Amino acid sequence: MWSPNPSTLIMLLLVFSLFQVPAFAIRKSYIVYLGSHSHAPGVSKVDLQLVTDSHYNFLSSYLGSKAKAIDSIIYSYKRHINGFAAFLEEEEAAEIAKNPKVVSVFLNKGRKLHTTHSWDFMLLEENDKVKRSSLWERARFGEDTIIANLDTGVWPESQSFSDKGLGPIPSKWKGICQNSHSVPCNKKLIGTRYFNKGYLAYTGLKLNSSLNSARDTEGHGSHTLSTAAGNFVPGANVFGLGNGTAKGGSPKARVASYKVCWPPVNGSECFDADIMKAFDMAIHDGVDVLSVSLGGDPVDYFEDGLSIGAFHAVKNDVVVVCSAGNSGPTPGTVSNVSPWMITVGASTLDREFQAFVELGNGLRLKGTSLSKALPKSKLYPLISADEARKSDASVKDAILCKKDTLDPTKVKGKILACLRGETARVDKGEQASLAGAVGMILCNDKLSGNEIIADAHVLPASQVNYTDGVAVFAYIKSTANPVGFITAPNAKLGTKPAPFMASFSSRGPNTVTPEILKPDITAPGVNIIAAYSEATSPTDEPFDNRRIPFNTESGTSMSCPHVSGVVGLLKTLYPNWSPAAIRSAIMTTARTRDNTQNPMLDASYVESTPFAHGSGHIRPNRAMDPGLVYDLTTNEYLDFLCALGYNQTLMEAFTSNRECPKPAINLHDFNYPSISIPKVLSGSVTVTRRVKNVGPAGTYAARVVKPAGVSVCVEPNVLKFENIGEEKSFKVTLKPEGSRKALQAKKSGVPKRYVFGGLNWSDGKHYVRTPIVVAAA
C-alpha cells in the first residue's frame, strides 16, 4: 500500500535505488504525461485513489509487478493533470512512450530561477511610474483575487505579507498552510505548500527539515510574490535609500506560495516533477493567477512540466504569467513560449542610484551604487589595485582585486580602484575591505562597456563605465599623490531614456513555434525593490552578514510578477474574462515609445524590436479598457496542437469530445494578438484574426504601419460593433512589394533579417495594436 508519509516514501526510494537496482541499470526520474482527467466537480478521495491505482496498474504492466510500480512512482498527478513521475530505466521509458495513451515521456529536468544575481539595485516604488492608481481603485486593489507563485517559498514575517486591512479569506479558497508551525499563514498569505520529491529524486539528496518547509531562505520567492501582490509597507528602503511605500501590483489580493525551488545542484533548482504537482494543486486550491519566474531552454510544449502545468491551469481559467528568461541579447533565446502563457521580457525604470566619483584633477564621473557613504567629506588618497598588489601577486590578478592579491600596507585608508571582470563585483568589494580600503571605485572593463550596476557593496563604492574607468586609472598614474571622493548614493528619478530593454532579457524569435511571437510584453525588471528573505544577505554571499527586509533584484523574474499584479487587477475587474482576453488587453494597449517620445531602445542604444519587447511596455490603465480583444478558447488551443501534429488519438487524452479539424488550422490563423510570418515571403500570405468587443458600441478602422518592403491589406478595414461580446473576423494579406529582390526567398536556413510593422484598430478612443513581424531574407 502507498504510504502518504513523504519521509517513508523517500526512504523507500533510497533503499531501492541503493540495494535493489543492479549497477548497470541506471534509473532516472521521468514524467509520464497522460493528458487530462475528466473529474466531475467535487471529486472524492475515492476517485483520487482510483487515479493513483490506475497509475500503479499502468506502470506495473511495464515493470512486471504492482509492488515495483509502487516503489517507482514519485508522484501521481490526480486532479487536473493526468500522469505520474517515476524512477525508470531508459528502455522502460522508451517502451512506455510507445503506448498510444501516452502523450509524452520525458526526464525530470531542472529549471532555473530567472534572476540575474542579487545585490542589485534600488528604486523607490516600481508602481509610481505606471500610475496605475485609477485601475487600482476601480479594481479595488485586486481585493479577493488570489495570486500565487511557484518559486523559492516565502518569508512570512515580511510586512508585505501582513494582513492589515483585509477581510475574511475568500470562501472559494481550498488550499492549505502546509507545515504552518514553520511558515504561519494569515488573511494575506493564505496558503503555502512545498514540493521536494522531484528535487530529491534528481539530486539523490537526503530529506532534512529545511527541505520540509515553504520558508524562503533565498529571497527570490518573497521578492516576486510581494512584487505581484505585496501589501502597502510605508517607510520601506534599502540601507535608507529609495525610502517610500512598497506595494505590489495587486496590494489587496491574497497570496499563496508553492515552493518548488531548492538550493541549486549543478545550476538546477526547480524540477519538472515538482512543478507539475504544484500546478495540479494550485488549480485545485482555487488560485486565479500564477506567477512563474523560472524556466529552462525552450522545448516542445509537452516535454516541459511548466508548459504542461500552464496548459491545465489556463484550461481551468487560471492565468499563467512567466518570465522570458535572462539569456539575451542573443536571438532565439526566449523560453516559456507556450501560446497559453503570458511571456514577459524585462526593461528599465526611469531611476538611477547615482554615486559620483570626484577626482583630484577636477573630473566628476557619474557612477552607481547602493552602498553606504564615506565616513568623512574630504578627499581620500587613491590607489589602483595593480599598484597595491602583494609581491607574489600578478598585475593581472591584482587589478581585478582577486582574493589574496592586495597588500594591506599599501591599501589601508585609501580608495582602491579595481577592474571589473572574472570575479563577482561584490567580492571585489569584500577583498578591498579586507585589505583595509575605505572605499572602492569599480571600473568597467571594455566588455561591460556602459552597463553599470548598483550593488550593495560591503564598503563605500561606486561603479563607473568603461570610458570613465580609463580616466580613473589614467589620473592615478598621472600624479604622485592621487586623491578622490565618492558621493553618497542618491536615487534619481526621471532619467532618460526609459524604459529601454535590459540586455539580459531573452529575445525572440520563438524557436518552438515561430508563428507565435514571443515574448508578449515587457515590464520593469531592472533595480526592482521588494520584500526579501532575512535568512540570507543582500549580496547572497556567505561573507556578508547583513540582513534586510527589502532588497533590489534584476531579471525577467522581476518583470514577470509586475504583469501578474496587473493581471490580478484585471481579474478582479473582469472575473469572466478568459486568460487569453486578459493577455490580449495587456498586449494591445502596450506602449512602444519611451519617455523621450522616441521608439524604445535596446541596451545597446539601437531601436528595440518586437523580438525584445513583444507588443511593448505594459500600460495597466489602458489594459483596463482595451476596446477589443483577441480571445481564444481551450478548443482553439487544442486545434493549435492538432496543427502541430498532435493527432486525434492524443486529442482524446485531453478531451473526449473534440475532433481535430480537417484540414488542420493554419498556424497563421491562430487568434493570437500579434502576427509573425517566419518564412520569407515568396508570394502572398493571408492571416485571419477575430476580435471581440469588450467596450462600448463603436466603429473601428484599421491602420497599418507597413514592414519595409511588404504590402499589407486588411479586409474588411472597418469593423462595426453594436454589442458587448460581439465578434468579427478580418483578414490581413501580406505581399512582397515592388522588386522581388528586396524580399528574395533564401533557399535554406533560418531567416537572417526581419522587418517589423503593426496593425492598429481604432474607434478614435481605443487603440488596439498588434505587432507584425515578417522574415525578410
Ligand X SMILES: *[C@@H]1O[C@H](CO)[C@@H](O)[C@H](O)[C@H]1NC(C)=O
Element (H, E) at 642: helix 634-643
CB of 268 to ligand X, least distance (A): 8
Cβ closest to ligand X, residue 201 vs residue 374:
201
Contact between 13 and 91 (Cβ < 8 Å): no
CB of 320 to ligand X, least distance (A): 27
Cβ closest to ligand X, residue 246 vs residue 290:
246
DSSP letter for each residue of 308-346: HHHHHHHHTT-EEEEE--S-TTSTT------TTSEEEEE
Cα 436 from Cα 413, distance rounded (Å): 6
- Annotated catalytic residue, options 158, 557, 608, 674: 557
The owner of cell 496542437 is: 641
- What Cα–Cα distance (Å) separates residue 687 from each residue in 126, 633, 668, 713, 755? 38, 19, 6, 10, 17
DSSP state of 501: B
Cβ closest to ligand X, residue 314 vs residue 521:
521
DSSP state of 17: I
Q: State the alpha helices, DSSP H only, in 479-578.
A: 556-573
The owner of cell 522570458 is: 324
Return the closest-CA partner of residue 522 out of 606, 615, 626. Answer: 615
- Annotated catalytic residue, options 114, 220, 562, 766: 220
39 is catalytic: no
Cβ closest to ligand X, residue 333 vs residue 462:
462
Cα 41 from Cα 630, distance rounded (Å): 29
Q: Is the bond leading into 663 cis (omega within 30 degrees of zero)?
A: yes
CB of 736 to ligand X, least distance (A): 23
Contact between 84 and 59 (Cβ < 8 Å): yes
Cβ closest to ligand X, residue 43 vs residue 207:
207
151 is catalytic: yes
DSSP state of 696: S
| C-alpha cell belonging to residue 607 | 531601436
CB of 120 to ligand X, least distance (A): 19
CB of 410 to ligand X, least distance (A): 27
CB of 356 to ligand X, least distance (A): 8
CB of 345 to ligand X, least distance (A): 19
Cβ closest to ligand X, residue 465 vs residue 634:
465
Contact between 609 and 754 (Cβ < 8 Å): yes
Cβ closest to ligand X, residue 211 vs residue 379:
211
Contact between 136 and 229 (Cβ < 8 Å): no
Cα 473 from Cα 417, distance rounded (Å): 8
DSSP state of 423: B
Cβ closest to ligand X, residue 26 vs residue 705:
705
Cα 189 from Cα 415, distance rounded (Å): 45
Contact between 199 and 277 (Cβ < 8 Å): no
- Annotated catalytic residue, options 71, 120, 144, 151: 151
Q: Which strand ranges, in their side-by-side order, compose the sheet holding 685-693?
A: 628-629, 685-693, 727-736, 710-715
Burial 736-755 (b: 16+ CB within 10 A, else e): bbeeeeebeeeeeeebeebb
Contact between 648 and 491 (Cβ < 8 Å): no
Strands (E) located in 329-413? 342-347, 351-359, 364-368, 380-384
CB of 702 to ligand X, least distance (A): 9
Binding region for ligand X (CB under 6 A):
100, 203, 205, 208-211, 235, 237, 240, 243, 263, 265-266, 365-366, 450, 465, 467-468, 647-649, 703, 705, 758, 760, 762, 767, 769
CB of 760 to ligand X, least distance (A): 4
| C-alpha cell belonging to residue 571 | 481579474
392 is catalytic: no
Which positions are annotated as active-site residues?
151, 220, 557
